[in-house]
Every structure is written in structure tokens, then in C-alpha cells.
């Protein structure tokens, strides 16, 4: 049923219909509406056979999730920004122990300076944590991705973050068509764990591994992670067949004419320039690029739906022969450039691609359609630098003028 | 749970298991089919009181839970010496996550079991003083405050022994550690009162708080059994001498524990809902020197200039004796 819902409400209702056994909550903006909504459902009986635990920190939120998952429950929590960093030690630990926890990250900037608004610095700082990272372009995808995340995480024994832009998605109301409990029951298998704390079959989880076995442990973890691309692709295809809409996957190939995500383009057509982005900015890009296409600019749009595993093969296939690439990056690797750009660069190594990185929308700065069109126009004119900051203000503040901001590596 | 029959080396005395008592009164350890939850072959030091205490605690808890016990362990000596891959010395299902989160992991396990309707399976969390009074304090306090159905056991050896004997906030003032060396004008730990986790636990008004030592293992066992008979958050604090960190002979762990109690330095108590309910009286008051002198970490107290610190120990023992009425007689 199509209805207008806030992004957080859409996510909370979908998570509840995935039948989690334990939900942990600790407040941090902008994820609070999700756990607030779940707390109501836990009280009204909409969530059955589920323990809702208010904890004293994000570190404990992840730790309770670890214990719950290891004891055989589907465990869920949500966080953002400082909260994600505060739980970092346990985040790495969960993946090392193969516990398929699902966590919503309502993407938000990291201080100092403290800033509650949206960019993707938080989840991207956790890129080596051994978690799957799936990014939602809109509220519909944010809700749906949780169903896929539970399925993929539990098949692989790898925890999953579903990343949705804070405020831009969490607090925005949009039309969504939520999966019903019956639909999800028919799609998502019951919880299964790789290893469980069971008094009938006692096991020791979390041993110390010395130099003689640590490398092999990590190698096996790596191999399992490499399997993840195929598993994500398979579950996303199954989702499309069951629910009739495109959600998740590895790379979203926006149709070049309509720039519609649901109308998948074939991989590798011959466009002059490709814009690559991740998260809700894809919606802005859709709107920005349609007039350019109409004006005859050969530009297309690719969305990174899975940042971890990073879909190197799928990205190369999607790009085909296109060599001019603009990456709209929502997080900055200080002294180096955009975080997404670095991953795109590694995927395209040896292809002679010309990659431009545009760092945009840090700490909630609005990303304007006109600014994005200007970026494409300047790229076509050969005027776009290798690293630029979108709409950097240079008047009245002690910032070097545009031009001097391009960083040579 | 299956049991492994191992050579039964301890015989005859009341202290090691009460084989002279009636069958029903004997300790878990006195039975040949004791659970042996922490099996032999682990890597604890000779004379490690933590290993001794952990075996008694775990066997009693397993017995009280009818074999249905899950354990969450903080990082520390106990975890390192028992679970070096590919070996494990633990027979119950056991999990180690990180240093500071054993209490929260235990909450997660308890929540999961409740959600699954497995309310007959019990949960125990354990850690050293570092994982409890320092880095893990917030998680322990959170678990207490929510009254989660977890028995948390702290094995207090008064320092970070696993990393090479550094000061923790459970380290008493004047003790020498690797980060509070016995040099300079104020040798040993310059500050600290040995942060009292039992008092902090009592302030949370949880159903049950108790302290114990390895000098009275029957008392330790009895307290574990009492704790296991109660639901909600429970806390047990066990003083465990560390031969390495305390600079004492491996043969003296029991004697030091007894001296700590008999001198008034360590109060053996029980409390329910924040109220003190039981106090173990001192049988024969011992001078604090009985506890301090055998330990190299206090050697500087017995050299010129050590009198003030020694006197502070006497005051601390007197304060404990007054606070808990350890000699009896106060109405």
C-alpha cells in the first residue's frame, strides 16, 4: 500500500516486520525516530517475541547486539556519527566473530566541529570494519534494504550497515510502499547463525589467535567477504522478482534517458561522461542531469548501492568504454581526497580513466542542482579539477580562492 | 552437559570440599563428577587465585543452573590463559568479545534467551578489576541499573596483571606497580582507595551483592549458590591474590587472602537491595603487616620512610572494622 511516511517510520516498520529478537536503543540524532518508533511497537505488541533494551551507550548497544546475536537472535540497532565511532571497537569485534547484526546508520558528520547534519563521514570511517555497507538513495530503498540486509548478513555471517542520509531521508516524508509482514515472512528465511551459544552444544566464541593462525583467520574472512557481491546481487534480484521494484544490488545503472533507477540501463553504453555517487544525492543528480541530457550532453548516472563489498567488477562493466568520471563524494579523506573516489580509483586502476572528485555537502551543506550541472559543464569544457569542493565559499572567510583549492597529490 | 573424569587429587579436608560432611552438605568440588567447567591444561600462573576462584564459581553456577549456563568473559588474564586458539579450557558455552563490554554482552545473551523463551538458561559475566571498575564500569553500571538477569563476577587482583602489572583504580594507594614505581618521595601508587565496586553495586540497589576470597572457598560457593537462586542483576566481588603482580610466593595466595580478611583490610559481606545483610566477623584480629609484608609490592612500606603509608593501612583496616562491625559487638 502506497502511503506517505517519514523515512525513519518506514525503516522502523520494516525492521519490525523482519521479526528481530533483540533491539538495542541509544539516542543520537538523526537516528532517534527509528528507535522511538520501535519502542512504541514493542509496547503495543506489534513487535512480538522481541526484547527492546535501552542501554547506556552506543558501545553497549553494539555489545548487547553481539551477545544477542551469539545467543541465537536476530539483533538490530541504529546509530549515527559520534555514536558509531563510540561503538567502533565492538563494531570490528562483531564482524570478526561472524555475527550477522543489522544496524541502520543515519549518516551524519563527525566533529570537531560538532555538526548534527548529513554527510557520510561516519559510515565511511568504518569502511575497514568488516561490515557490509548498503546505501539507500531514497526512503523506499532505505526500508527495503533492511530486508535484503538481514537475508545477506545471515547467509554470509557478516554484519550489515544500512546507510541512509540523516535528515535528508530519516526526517523527510515521502511516498513509500512498505513490504507487509506476510511478504517479508515469505521472502526472508528465519534467523540462522553460523555459531550459537547453546548449552546442549557448548562452544567457545572469541578465542585469542596468535601469529600462527591470525593471518589465515583474516584471509578466510576476506574470502567470505568476496562472496558477498554475488550474494547481494542474488538477493537483490530475488527482491526485484518478489516485490517488483529495484532495491540495492551492487551498482544502480540509471536509465540514460529517464535517469530512473527502476529502469535499469544495460551496462557499458557509450556515454561521454559518467557521474558516480552514493546515497540521497543520487535523487538530486537525477533531477540535475535530465535537462543536460535533453540539451544533448552525453552524461549518465551510476549509483554505488554496495560500498562494502566494493563492486569493482560491476562498476567496470557498468562504465564500459566511458573514461571520463565525476565522483560526487560525501566524505573527505583529509589530505587525500574523497573517500568514494579512492575506492572508484582502485576499481578503475589500469583503465586510463580520468577521475574527478567533487567533495559535496559536508556537514549538511545543501547540494544544489545548478551546482551539479555546473560541475558537468566545466568537466565537458576541460575546466574541472581533479579534486574540488562544491560551492566552497571564498568571500569573507579566510579560504584560498577557487583554483588554489585543487589539490595535487 | 557431559563431564570429563579427571584424577581427583584433593581429598580429606573441609577446606577443599567437605568430604567429611553429609553428602548434601558437601561442596560441588568434593564430588568426583564435579562439572570441571574450567578444565585443567590452561595457562594460568602457579598459585593464580583467579583460576582457583573461577573454577569454584563456575562449577557452582553450572551446578545451580542444572548445567544450563552461558558465560560472557571480559578481556584479561582469565580470558587469555583459558582460550588460546585452537584450545579452550571452558566447558560451558562461553564468549569473549572485548575488554569493556562483558556486562553488556551478558545482557544481550539474557535478552535473547528471554525472547526465545529459554528462561531456564542462566547467564554469568566475569572479568578482572580492570574490566569491571575501570574500562567496563559504564557497562556494568548499565546492567545493574536495568536489573538485567545476569550474575557478574569480578576477580579483583588490584591491577592490570595481564599487561604487565600496571595500576588500575582498584590498586590501593602505596602499592608498587609498573606505572606506580616504588621510587621517589612518595613510592608506589600516590593516590587511590581501591575503588570499591561492592559499594557501587550496593548503590544500584540490585537484589544481591557479595564479596568473598579464596581463603574460604565454601563461603565463595555458598554465595554463588545464593546468587544463582535469585533473578535480576547480582554482583560478586572476589579478592584474588596475584603472585606475579603482588610479588608474593605462589604458595601464599590463600594465606594472603585470609590475612586480608583477618586484618580488616577486605570485608566479606552480603547485601540485598542496597542493605548490608551479612558480615563475616574477624575470627582473630591480625595486624595489617601479616597481609602487607609478604608482598614485594609493599616492600617499601617496611623501609625507612614507609611508616606513614603503613599507618594509613592501619587506619583503612580500622575504618573497615568500624564500618562493617567486623569484630562484632556493635548493637
pLDDT of residue B16: 45
Chain B residues touching A206 at Cβ < 8 A: 73, 83, 95-97
Q: Does B191 touch chain A (CB under 8 A)?
A: no
Q: Does A90 touch chain B (CB under 8 A)?
A: yes
Q: What ranges do the domains of chain B cover?
A: 1-34, 44-324
Give residue-wise pLDDT tens across range B240-259: 999 999 999 999 999 999 99
- A262 in the same domain as A151: no
pTM of the model: 0.95
Chain B (123-142) residues lying within 8 Å, Cβ to Cβ, of chain A? 138-139, 141-142
| Partner-chain contact A64 B111, CB within 8 Å | yes
- Alpha-carbon B219 to chain mean position: 12
* Helix segments in A103-163, DSSP class H: 121-125, 139-156
Chain B residues touching A90 at Cβ < 8 A: 97-98, 101
Provide the 10 A C-beta neighbour count for residue A409. 7
- A143 in the same domain as A40: yes
Q: Which domain holds residue A106?
A: 2-243
The CATH number that applies at residue A310 is: 3.40.50.920
| Partner-chain contact B107 A53, CB within 8 Å | yes
Q: In whole angstroms, what is the distance from residue A392 CA to residue A372 CA?
A: 13
| Partner-chain contact A67 B96, CB within 8 Å | no
Closest CA–CA distance from residue A19 to any residue of chain B (Å): 11
Is residue A330 within 8 A of residue A362, CB to CB? The reply is yes
pLDDT of residue B244: 97
Residue range B47-64: mean pLDDT, rounded:
97
Q: In whole angstroms, what is the distance from residue A376 CA to residue A287 CA?
A: 13
pLDDT of residue B52: 97
Chain A (114-153) residues lying within 8 Å, Cβ to Cβ, of chain B? none
Locate cell 594509613: which residue? B312
**β-sheet with B94-96: strand ranges across:** A204-205, B94-96, B69-73, B122-128, B151-156, B234-239, B208-213, B269-272, B275-279
- A155 in the same domain as A275: no
- Top CATH class, B44-324: alpha beta
Percent of the residues in chain B that have a pLDDT greater than 90, as a whole number = 87
From A72, which residue of chain B is nearest by alpha-carbon distance?
Answer: B112
Let me know if residue A407 belongs to a domain.
no
Q: In whole angstroms, what is the distance from residue B105 CA to residue A66 CA?
A: 6
Q: Does B4 touch chain A (CB under 8 A)?
A: no
Chain A residues touching B67 at Cβ < 8 A: 199
* Helix segments in chain B, DSSP class H: 49-64, 77-82, 102-115, 129, 137-145, 197-203, 217-228, 243-246, 253-262, 288-292, 307-324
Q: What is the ipTM of this complex?
A: 0.95
pLDDT bucket at B14, cuts 50 / 70 / 90 = very low
- A59 in the same domain as A197: yes
Report the residue from B67, B90, B141 with minimal CB separation from A199.
Answer: B67
The CATH number that applies at residue A94 is: 3.40.50.970
Domain boundary among A215, A243, A271: A243
Q: In whole angstroms, what is the distance from residue A358 CA to residue A285 CA?
A: 13
| Partner-chain contact A208 B85, CB within 8 Å | yes
Percent of the residues in chain B that have a pLDDT greater than 70, as a whole number = 93
pLDDT of residue A186: 98
The residue ranking higher by pLDDT, A40 or B40, is A40
pLDDT of residue B230: 98
Q: In whole angstroms, what is the distance from residue A186 CA to residue A168 CA?
A: 31
Residues of chain A short of pLDDT 70, as ranges, are 262-263, 268-269, 396-409
- A92 in the same domain as A76: yes
CA angle A213-A216-A217, nearest 5°? Answer: 85
- A204 in the same domain as A275: no
Let me know if residue A403 belongs to a domain.
no
| Partner-chain contact B98 A213, CB within 8 Å | no
Q: In whole angstroms, what is the distance from residue B331 CA to residue B323 CA?
A: 13
Give residue-wise pLDDT tens across range B66-75: 999 999 999 9
Report the residue from B87, B138, B145 with minimal CB separation from A57.
Answer: B138
* CA B83, B87, B92, B94 torsion-angle sign: positive
- A341 in the same domain as A366: yes
Provide the 10 A C-beta neighbour count for residue B299. 17
Structural domain count of chain A: 2
Amino acid at each position: 500500500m502506497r502511503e506517505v511516511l517519514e523515512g525513519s517510520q518506514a525503516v522502523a516498520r520494516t525492521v519490525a516486520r523482519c521479526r528481530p529478537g533483540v533491539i538495542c536503543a541509544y539516542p543520537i540524532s538523526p537516528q532517534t525516530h527509528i528507535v522511538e518508533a520501535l519502542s512504541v511497537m514493542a509496547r503495543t505488541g506489534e513487535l512480538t517475541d522481541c526484547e527492546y533494551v535501552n542501554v547506556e551507550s552506543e558501545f553497549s548497544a553494539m555489545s548487547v547486539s553481539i551477545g544477542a546475536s551469539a545467543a541465537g537472535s536476530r539483533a538490530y540497532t541504529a546509530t549515527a556519527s559520534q555514536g558509531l565511532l563510540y561503538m567502533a571497537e565492538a563494531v570490528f569485534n562483531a564482524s570478526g566473530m561472524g555475527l550477522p547484526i543489522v544496524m541502520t546508520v543515519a549518516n551524519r558528520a563527525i566533529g570537531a566541529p560538532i555538526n548534527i547534519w548529513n554527510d557520510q563521514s561516519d559510515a565511511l570511517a568504518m569502511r575497514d570494519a568488516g561490515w557490509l555497507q548498503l546505501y539507500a538513495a531514497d526512503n523506499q530503498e532505505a526500508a527495503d534494504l533492511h530486508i535484503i540486509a538481514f537475508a545477506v548478513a545471515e547467509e554470509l555471517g557478516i554484519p550489515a550497515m544500512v546507510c541512509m542520509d540523516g535528515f535528508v531521508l530519516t526526517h523527510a516524508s515521502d511516498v513509500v510502499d512498505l513490504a507487509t509482514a506476510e511478504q517479508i515472512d515469505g521472502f526472508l528465511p528465519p534467523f540462522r547463525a553460523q555459531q550459537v551459544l547453546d548449552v546442549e552444544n557448548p562452544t567457545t566464541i572469541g578465542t585469542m589467535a596468535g601469529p600462527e593462525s591470525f593471518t589465515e583467520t583474516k584471509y578466510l574472512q576476506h574470502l567470505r567477504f568476496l562472496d558477498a557481491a554475488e550474494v547481494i546481487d542474488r538477493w537483490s534480484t530475488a527482491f526485484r522478482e518478489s516485490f517488483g521494484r529495484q532495491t540495492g544490488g551492487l551498482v544502480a545503472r540509471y536509465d540514460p534517458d529517464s535517469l530512473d533507477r527502476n529502469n535499469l540501463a544495460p551496462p557499458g553504453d557509450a556515454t561521454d561522461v559518467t557521474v558516480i555517487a552514493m546515497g540521497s544525492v543520487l535523487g538530486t543528480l537525477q533531477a540535475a542531469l535530465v535537462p543536460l541530457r535533453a540539451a544533448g550532453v552525453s552524461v549518465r548516472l551510476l549509483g554505488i548501492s554496495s560500498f562494502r563489498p566494493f563492486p569493482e567488477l560491476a562498476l567496470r562493466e557498468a562504465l564500459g568504454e566511458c573514461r571520463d568520471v565525476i565522483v560526487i563524494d560525501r566524505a573527505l579523506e583529509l589530505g587525500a581526497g574523497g573517500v568514494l573516489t579512492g575506492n572508484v580509483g582502485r576499481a578503475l586502476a589500469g583503465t586510463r580513466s580520468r577521475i574527478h572528485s567533487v567533495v559535496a555537502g559536508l556537514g549538511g551543506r545543501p547540494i544544489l542542482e545548478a551546482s551539479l550541472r555546473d560541475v558537468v559543464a566545466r568537466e565537458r569544457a576541460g575546466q574541472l579539477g581533479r579534486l574540488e569542493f562544491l560551492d566552497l565559499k571564498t568571500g569573507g572567510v579566510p579560504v584560498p580562492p577557487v583554483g588554489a583549492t585543487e589539490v595535487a597529490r | 552437559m557431559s563431564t570429563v573424569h579427571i584424577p581427583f587429587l584433593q581429598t580429606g579436608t573441609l577446606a577443599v570440599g567437605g568430604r567429611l560432611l553429609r553428602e548434601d552438605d558437601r561442596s560441588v568440588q568434593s564430588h568426583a563428577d564435579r562439572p570441571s567447567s574450567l578444565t585443567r591444561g590452561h595457562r594460568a600462573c602457579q598459585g593464580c587465585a583467579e583460576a582457583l576462584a573461577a573454577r569454584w564459581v563456575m562449577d557452582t553456577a553450572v551446578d545451580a543452573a542444572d548445567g544450563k549456563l552461558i558465560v560472557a568473559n571480559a578481556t584479561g588474564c582469565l580470558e587469555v590463559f583459558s582460550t588460546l586458539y585452537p584450545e579452550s579450557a571452558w566447558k560451558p558455552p562461553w564468549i569473549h568479545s572485548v575488554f569493556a563490554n562483558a556486562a553488556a554482552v551478558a545482557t544481550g545473551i539474557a535478552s535473547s534467551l528471554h525472547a526465545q523463551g529459554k528462561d531456564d538458561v542462566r547467564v554469568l559475566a566475569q572479568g578482572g578489576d580492570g574490566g569491571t571498575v575501570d574500562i567496563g564500569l559504564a557497562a556494568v553500571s548499565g546492567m545493574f541499573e536495568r536489573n538485567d538477569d545476569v550474575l557478574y563476577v569480578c576477580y579483583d587482583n588490584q591491577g592490570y596483571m595481564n599487561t604487565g602489572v600496571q595500576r588500575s583504580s582498584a590498586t590501593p594507594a602505596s602499592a608498587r606497580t609498573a606505572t606506580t614505581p616504588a621510587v621517589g618521595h612518595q613510592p608506589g601508587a600516590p593516590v587511590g582507595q581501591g575503588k570499591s565496586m561492592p559499594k557501587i553495586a550496593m548503590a544500584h540497589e540490585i537484589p544481591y551483592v557479595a564479596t568473598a576470597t579464596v581463603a574460604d572457598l565454601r563461603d565463595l560457593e555458598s554465595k554463588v549458590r545464593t546468587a544463582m537462586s535469585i533473578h535480576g542483576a547480582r554482583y560478586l566481588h572476589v579478592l584474588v591474590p596475584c603472585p606475579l603482580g603482588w610479588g608474593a610466593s605462589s604458595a601464599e595466595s590463600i594465606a594472603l587472602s585470609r590475612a586480608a580478611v583477618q586484618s580488616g583490610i577486605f570485608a566479606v559481606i552480603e547485601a540485598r537491595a542496597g542493605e548490608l545483610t551479612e558480615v563475616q566477623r574477624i575470627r582473630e584480629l591480625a595486624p595489617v603487616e601479616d597481609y602487607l609484608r609478604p608482598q614485594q609490592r609493599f616492600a617499601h612500606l617496611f623501609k625507612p620512610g614507609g611508616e606513614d603509608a603503613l599507618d594509613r593501612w592501619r587506619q583503612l583496616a580500622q575504618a573497615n572494622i568500624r564500618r562493617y562491625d567486623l569484630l562484632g559487638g556493635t548493637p
